[in-house]
A = this chain, B = another copy of it.
């Protein structure tokens, strides 16, 4: 069996096991067995548990980011780009639940040597959204414009909401929501607010608090 094929099988198995157990609890024995190969072969191709995990993270993140970018037309309005991006995001996470589990479950790991890789990839997704928000957040009137910190906070909030919804959609019992439906839920909640901010209109409306 050619090396390339074997290597993909190993990564597939690794993603599945890492998703099921988490990084530390996953054992190379289980991964090798699931990949239908011997442990030394896994080491020959992937070098170490750490590198194997990094390779998984990279592959899954790359694949996710690429699909999001493929789903978005650069020329479209911010509203439409967010809508399309979210649909692509939820479609991908629904189709690759293990990959998504690895990305999201280990996303906040501390102390492990690959923490940087994970953090960096999460940051790339946040950056996508940050740019989207920042770009359209150019208040037309005389209101106070959004600060960089505000934009960053909004991006993190939006990404967190999306992450949480992806997990919710994946683990629902009963009828699984479509990507379209899940994306609509998030647009429902967040879009009007974002649009308002674009015009410098903030919560609360004056005397509310």
Query: Which residues on A are within 8 Å of B, measured CB to CB?
Result: 19-25, 79-80, 83, 101, 104-105, 108-112, 149-150, 152-154, 156-165, 167-169, 177, 182, 184-194, 196-197, 202-204, 208-209
Min CB gap A146→B, angstroms? 9
Question: What secondary structure prevails in chain A residues at the interface with B?
Answer: helix
Is B154 within 8 A of A164, CB to CB? no
Is B111 within 8 A of A105, CB to CB? no
Copies in the complex: 4
**A152, B175: Cα distance in complex, Å:** 13
**A139, B52: Cα distance in complex, Å:** 52
Is B208 within 8 A of A186, CB to CB? no
Check A168/B152 contact, CB under 8 A, given A21-B110, A105-B110. yes
Min CB gap A15→B, angstroms? 13
